A and B are shown apart, each in its own frame.
Chain A
Amino acid sequence: MDNSQNIIARSATTTAPPQVRGHVEEVAKLIDVSKCIGCKACQVACMEWNDLRDEVGECHGTYDNPTDLTANSWTVMRFNEHETEDGDLEWLIRKDGCMHCADPGCLKACPAPGAIVQYANGIVDFDSNHCIGCGYCITGCPFDIPRISPKDQKSYKCTLCSDRVNAGMEPACVKTCPTNCIEFGTKADMLVRAEKRVGDLKARGFRDAGIYDPAGVGGTHVMYVLHHANDPNRYSGLPKDPRISPLVGAWKGATKPIMSAIIGITAFAGVIHYMTKGPKEEPEDDPGQEDAPADTLGYDATRRGSGQHEGSAGERPRGEER
C-alpha cells in the first residue's frame, strides 16, 4: 500500500486514520462512453501494468471478453446492442470497473481494519494483505465490483492505479486509450471537460447526454459521459441512482453500537442484580423428610436454610392455595 499518510477513511476503524499530509486535490477518471470504440486496449493495459493474467474463457456470442469482472480482470468492456424506438441500433460500450465512490459501500461493510482505505485524492484501494476473504465488500458495493479470487480468497478490484497516481502518472488504461475516451486529472478539471463534451453531444442531437457522477454515493472518482444519461441502465445495467443499500446501512450503521451496548448493559445488569438482590441460595436438605412424598410437605418445607429471608415460613405459595 502506498500513500499511507494520506488516508481519509479506513475500514473497520473508529479513530482517525493517518492524514498528516496537507492539501490534496481529488482526482477522477472520466470515461466518455460516446468516444469508446470497444478496442479493449484498456483491459490489456490494466492486465499488463497490474501484472494480472486471467484464465482464457469462452466466447458467449458477444464481444464481452471476459464476460464478467474477475479477481484477475479489474476492468471489462460491456457491449450492449440497444434498439431505439425508431428502430436504429445503438452499440453501447461501457468500460466497467470500480467507480471509487466518495461514500464507498465496500469500505463501510468491510470488517477487517485497514483492508480497504480511501485516500485523500478519492481513490478507494484494497490492501489485500489485510483482507480476510469474507466478501462483505461485495455485499456493500452498489455496483457489484469486487471479486474474490478462488486462489487466495482475497478480494480484488481496480485500484485506479494508485501506485501510478501516487508517482504522478495517470492510470494505465488512461495512458493506453487510443481515442482519448478515458481521461484523468483532478475531479474539478474532469467535470469541466465532461460538461464541454455533454454540450457537444447535445448540439449533435443527443438531448439526454449528461455526466454520470451519482450523488447517492457522494459522487464517484470514475465518471462517465453518457449520451443517454436519463437511462444509465441501458449501458449494461449501470444503476440509475446507486446508493449504499439501506440494509447495509442498518447492518453496518446504528445497529453496531446499539446492539453492542445492549449486550454490555445486559451483562452489567446481571452484576448489579447479583450485588443488590443476591443469589437464590440452595435450599437445605431436610433429611428427616426426604422420603416423605412431596405433596404432603407443602412447599414451605423447602424454605431456605438459616432464615435469610423472613416470611417464608408463614406464607403458603399461591399454587397450593388453589
Chain B
Amino acid sequence: MRTPRHRLIRYSPLDRANHWSMAMIFILLALSGLAFFHPAFFFLSHTLGGPVWARILHPFLGVVLVLLFYAMAARHVSRNLLGENDVQWMRQIRDVLDNRDEKLPPIGKYNPGQKLVFWSLVVSIALLLLSGVIMWRPWFAGYFPIPLIRFASLIHSLSAFVAIVTIVIHIYAAIWVKGSIRSMTRGWVTRAWARHHHGLWAREQEEKQREHS
C-alpha cells in the first residue's frame, strides 16, 4: 500500500505490534508487582487471577517483556544516542513544557525526553531481570544466598519504581502530544507533525522520499 504524500511512516507494523504487546505486559507486570509492593495495592493481584497466580505468572511475563524490550531496544539504540540540538532542547525544557514549540530547535526522530525514557527503561528493565531471577521462587532463589536475595528485592522494587514512573511519564507525553498515539496505533504521522516535532527526522525522511520518487 502506498503512503499518501502528506504522511510519513514512523513505526512499522512490527514496531507497533511489539510496542502494544509490551504495553499490555508492562501494565500486567506493574499491577501485579505493585500488589506485592504495598498492601494498599494487594487487590491488584486479581488482575492476574489472584495472588498466587500473580506470584506464579509475574516472573514469566517479566521474561517475555525483557525479550520484547531488548529486541526493540537493539533496533532503536542508534536513534537514541545524544543527537544534534538535543542539549539545546533540554536547556529549553520550560519552552517544551509550556508548549512554546516554535522556539525549539529541530531535533531527530526522538527528542531528549524520549531518549531519557528509552535509557531509563534499558537500565531499569535490566536490573529488574537480574534481581527478579535472584528472587524467583521456586526456581532460582534457592541457589542464591539470602543476603543477596535481600539486596535483589530492594533493587527490584527500586527499579520497578523507576520503570513505572517512566511509563507514567511516557503515557502522559503520548496524551499530551497530539498525533503521537496515532503514530503508534496506525504507524504514520503527518508531514506537518514531523516537521513540527522532529524537524531533522522530517527532513531526512523527505529527502529519502524524494530519492525514491
Contacts and interface: CB of A to CB of B under 8 A. Distances in A.
A311 interface: yes
Given A14-B40, A293-B203, 8 more contacts: A12-B42, A134-B137, A263-B168, A283-B192, A285-B191, A299-B102, A302-B195, A319-B105
Contact of A280 (B85, B103, B176, B190): B176
B137 A263 contact: no
Q: In terms of DSSP, what is the predominant structure of the interface of chain B?
A: helix
Contacts, number: 187
B51 interface: yes
Interface string A111-137: 111000000000000000000111110
A282 B178 contact: yes
Interface residues of B, number: 67
A303 interface: yes
Contacts of B54: 132
Interface in B148-191: 149-151, 153-154, 157-158, 161, 164-165, 168-169, 171-172, 175-179, 190-191
Given A247-B154, A282-B179, A309-B99, A263 B164 contact: yes
Given A287-B6, A317-B104, A247 B150 contact: yes
A270 interface: yes
Contacts of A167: none
Given A248-B150, A266-B168, A283-B193, A315 B40 contact: no
Contact of A136 (B41, B153, B168, B179): B153
B35 interface: yes
B175 to A, nearest CB: 7
A280 B177 contact: yes
28 contacts: A113-B42, A139-B135, A148-B138, A153-B138, A247-B154, A267-B172, A270-B169, A274-B172, A278-B99, A279-B177, A280-B178, A282-B192, A283-B193, A283-B196, A286-B192, A290-B6, A290-B191, A293-B210, A294-B191, A294-B203, A294-B206, A299-B106, A301-B195, A309-B99, A309-B102, A318-B103, A319-B85, A319-B199
